[in-house]
């Protein structure tokens, strides 16, 4: 813990007492005798620190004592006040409680009417932190406004023993009603930096001794505020670090589960399929192939989600807004989940109030958002229905709702719902699968497109996620921003696909898909690429280029080689790579690639990018 260095405590020394009594005409010997005796009727008894509560009291009113004794009595009260303030400032209580104790000590020991402390907040206004009086307005005071604000701006102490009529005192009615005589204000400064303001009001004039005590207390309180805020900041940083460590551990555990589980299916079913067909009695086993497909899709979605979230958090996720006619788009997205909903005996519907509704949004982002929200809705709904509703709210804003009648979300988890890697339940007994990154990605993609997302949920009743699209003047006029280098007329007449890939399995995968529609050639290195271009250059209509290749040349260098030779310069090159960050995409386009296809990709995605540059086969 960081301990703030406090000013020296004001203490009451016996030598001070002797000096005061000597000034009053008493000998030191008489002083000692008087202090030792509580029965002398000639001298009133002083009880300092009695009563068990740390207060200073006397059997006679302090104003009736002789001046020297009154001064002694006042010093005792100041000592008690200073001790209590310093004890409070070294405590472990919250800052507001510490400052409250300081204010109460001022009222109790210095016989002031009211004591208040304001602290400077992050918006450069003063918040009333504590007070020892009642009926106080707790609204923040702007710097430069009213008494407190002026003290904060000028950063100078303010003292008056004639509050009534003082032009710096704004509320003269309150001063007269409460019979306020004295006001003392101190800026709370640490190394010339303002942390707050202390202000006290009294119904009698403040002596020099009390004024000095308040000045010393102001310094201690300022240091105490700085110390406490530093401690709180360190504790918050520690809490966040521990939470980050916990989330990291949970994330790694989830990722291990989410990756190993589908890999087990893929490897296991693949092994079975490679065995002798007689193992299955000569019968086809389509359920094994379907299991591999589902597991592969789950694994791909997990990896894609991690990469997309990393891009969003790094502000490197590139969007290409375009005008999307939402009706057909939503129906197409919902249809992808029709089979799954039927298998779960759930009703799945898509309601579009305005068939002509158009929103400007990145189509890929909106597809990912809907996929995640619909996947969650079906996952957490055991019976009932899931619906997608497009409508306009009362303000005319276009809204998209994904509703379900599932388990709902507990109120205690709602605040952390969109936090990365967080899940309502974790561990071996969690009832649902998932990596904990889906909703964090959804929120990031929604906000990246200028929209907003909210959620309403009731436990065991269901959940509704609502997306409010940004308002645009003429969304139909917005076109897709993605541009690609057009293939030349000569390149269009070429129909051969050249696959540059050093992984045999990936070669086989692409050749199997494309070989049914196009002539296909393969190369696994720079030397093979050059040889193929030399012998078949006039036939090649597109190059599918893996960026990471074994050997001395990578895909970027080979792409630049193609662009530097006039006979091949117009051939479209598509980067097909597992390096999927924005930097990789930028490097590929700078080298001369026309398009970028991230691994893993589906059959449909591969055909789509090839058909962008080659004539679509006629079936």
Residue 242: phi and psi, rounded to 5, are: -65, -40
Please tell me the number of Cα atoms within 13 Å of 113 on its side-chain side: 18
- Number of helices (H) and strands (E) in the chain: give both, helices first: 19, 20
Ranges for all domains in the chain classified under CATH 3.40.50.2300: 489-613
Q: Residue 506, SS3?
A: helix
Q: What percent of the chain has pLDDT over 70?
A: 71
Whether the per-residue pLDDT at 35 is higher than 90: the answer is no
Lowest-confidence segment of 52-66, 79-93, 435-449 by average pLDDT: 52-66
Homologous superfamily (CATH) of 14-234 is: GAF domain (3.30.450.40)
Q: What is the rounded average pLDDT of the residues 491-516?
A: 83
Angstrom distance (rounded) from CA 18 to CA 32:
9
Whether the per-residue pLDDT at 130 is higher than 70: the answer is no
Q: Could you report the per-residue pLDDT of 380-422, keeping only the tens digit for each? A: 899 999 999 999 888 888 999 999 999 888 887 787 788 766 6
Torsion region of 226: left, alpha or beta (phi above 0 gives left; psi -120 to 50 gives alpha): alpha
Q: What is the rounded average pLDDT of the residues 470-476?
A: 56
Whether the per-residue pLDDT at 211 is higher than 50: the answer is yes
For position 289, what pLDDT does the model report? Answer: 74
Angstrom distance (rounded) from CA 487 to CA 480:
19
Q: What is the rounded average pLDDT of the residues 207-218?
A: 91
Angstrom distance (rounded) from CA 250 to CA 426:
8
Angstrom distance (rounded) from CA 493 to CA 511:
20
Please name the residue ranges forming H helices in 5-94: 14-23, 28-36, 67-89
For the chain, the straight-line distance linking the first and the last C-alpha, in angstroms and rounded, comes to 77
Whether the per-residue pLDDT at 549 is higher than 50: the answer is yes
Whether the per-residue pLDDT at 502 is higher than 90: the answer is no
Instruction: Give the mean pLDDT of the chain.
Output: 76
CATH no. of 489-613: 3.40.50.2300
Strands 114-120 and 125-131: antiparallel
For position 67, what pLDDT does the model report? Answer: 75
Angstrom distance (rounded) from CA 581 to CA 588:
11
Ranges for all domains in the chain classified under CATH 3.30.565.10: 321-477
Lowest-confidence segment of 450-459, 474-483, 522-531 by average pLDDT: 474-483
Q: What is the rounded average pLDDT of the residues 565-594?
A: 87
Cis peptide preceding 600, ω within 30 of 0? yes
Of 355 and 122, more confident = 355
Whether the per-residue pLDDT at 481 is higher than 70: the answer is no
For position 9, what pLDDT does the model report? Answer: 30
| Under 8 Å between Cβ of 7 and 220 | yes
Confidence label for 542 from pLDDT (cuts 50, 70 and 90): very high
Ranges for all domains in the chain classified under CATH 3.30.450.40: 14-234
For position 562, what pLDDT does the model report? Answer: 93
Residue 389, strand partner residues: 351, 401
| Under 8 Å between Cβ of 408 and 457 | yes
pTM given for the model: 0.47
For position 164, what pLDDT does the model report? Answer: 87
Task: Say if domain 321-477 classifies as CATH 3.90.1150.10.
Answer: no
Segments of 353-461 assigned E as strands? 358-362, 385-392, 398-404, 452-458
For position 125, what pLDDT does the model report? Answer: 62
Whether the per-residue pLDDT at 49 is higher than 80: the answer is no
Q: What is the rounded average pLDDT of the residues 357-363?
A: 92
Residue 200: phi and psi, rounded to 5, are: -130, 150
Confidence label for 612 from pLDDT (cuts 50, 70 and 90): confident
Of 564 and 300, more confident = 564
What sign does the CA torsion over 511, 514, 518, 524 have? Answer: negative
Whether the per-residue pLDDT at 287 is higher than 80: the answer is no
Q: What is the rounded average pLDDT of the residues 80-100?
A: 89
């Amino acid at each position: 813990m960081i301990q703030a260095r406090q000013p020296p405590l004001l203490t009451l020394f016996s030598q001070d007492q002797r000096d005061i009594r000597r000034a009053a005409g008493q000998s030191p010997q008489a002083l000692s005798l008087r202090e030792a005796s509580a029965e002398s009727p000639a001298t009133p008894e002083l009880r300092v620190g009695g009563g068990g509560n740390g207060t200073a009291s006397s059997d006679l009113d302090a104003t009736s004592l002789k001046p020297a004794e009154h001064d002694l009595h006042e010093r005792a009260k100041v000592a008690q006040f200073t001790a209590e303030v310093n004890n409070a400032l070294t405590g472990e209580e919250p800052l507001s409680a510490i400052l409250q104790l300081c204010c109460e000590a001022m009222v109790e020991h210095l016989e002031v009417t009211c004591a208040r402390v304001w602290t400077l907040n992050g918006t450069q206004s003063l918040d009333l932190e504590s007070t020892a009086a009642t009926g106080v307005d707790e609204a923040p005071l702007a710097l430069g406004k009213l008494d407190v604000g002026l003290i904060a701006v000028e950063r100078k102490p303010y003292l008056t023993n004639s509050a009534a009529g003082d032009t710096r005192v704004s509320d003269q009615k309150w001063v007269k009603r409460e019979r306020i005589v004295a006001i003392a204000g101190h800026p709370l400064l640490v190394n010339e930096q303002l942390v707050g303001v202390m202000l006290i009001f009294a119904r009698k004039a403040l002596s020099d001794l009390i004024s000095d005590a308040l000045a010393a207390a102001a310094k201690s309180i300022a240091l105490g505020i700085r110390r406490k805020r530093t401690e709180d900041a360190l504790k918050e940083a520690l809490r966040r670090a521990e939470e980050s460590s916990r989330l990291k551990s949970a994330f790694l555990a989830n990722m291990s589960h989410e990756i190993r589980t589908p890999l087990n299916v893929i490897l296991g079913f693949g092994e079975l399929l490679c065995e002798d067909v007689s193992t299955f009695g000569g019968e086809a086993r389509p359920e094994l192939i379907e299991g591999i497909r589902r597991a592969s899709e789950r694994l791909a979605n997990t990896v894609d989600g991690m990469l997309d979230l990393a891009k969003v958090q790094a502000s490197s996720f590139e969007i290409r807004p375009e005008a999307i006619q939402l009706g057909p788009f939503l129906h197409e997205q919902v249809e992808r989940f029709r089979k799954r909903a039927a298998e779960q005996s759930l009703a799945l519907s898509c309601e579009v109030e305005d068939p002509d509704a158009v929103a400007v949004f990145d189509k890929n982002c909106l597809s990912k958002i809907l996929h995640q929200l619909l996947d969650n809705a079906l996952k957490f709904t055991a019976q009932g229905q899931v619906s997608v509703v497009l409508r306009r709210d009362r303000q005319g804003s276009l809204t998209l709702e994904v509703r379900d009648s599932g388990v709902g979300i507990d109120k205690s988890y709602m605040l952390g719902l969109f936090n990365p890697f967080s899940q309502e339940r974790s561990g071996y007994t969690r009832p649902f699968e998932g990596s904990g990154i889906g909703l964090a990605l959804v929120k990031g993609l929604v906000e990246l497109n200028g929209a907003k997302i909210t959620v309403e949920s009731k436990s065991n009743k269901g959940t509704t996620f609502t997306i409010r699209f940004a308002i645009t003047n003429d969304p139909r006029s917005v076109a897709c921003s993605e541009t690609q280098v057009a293939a030349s007329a000569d390149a269009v007449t070429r129909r051969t696909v050249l696959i540059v890939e050093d992984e045999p399995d990936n070669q086989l995968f692409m050749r199997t898909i494309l070989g049914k529609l196009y002539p296909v050639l393969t190369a696994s290195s720079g030397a093979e690429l050059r040889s193929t271009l030399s012998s078949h250059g006039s036939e090649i209509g597109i190059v599918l280029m893996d960026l990471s290749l074994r050997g001395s040349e990578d895909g970027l260098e080979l792409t630049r080689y193609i662009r530097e030779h006039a006979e091949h310069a117009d051939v479209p090159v598509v980067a097909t790579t597992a390096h999927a960050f924005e930097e990789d995409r930028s490097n590929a386009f700078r080298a001369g690639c026309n398009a970028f296809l991230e691994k893993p990709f589906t059959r449909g995605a591969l055909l789509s990018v090839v058909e962008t540059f080659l004539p679509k086969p006629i079936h």
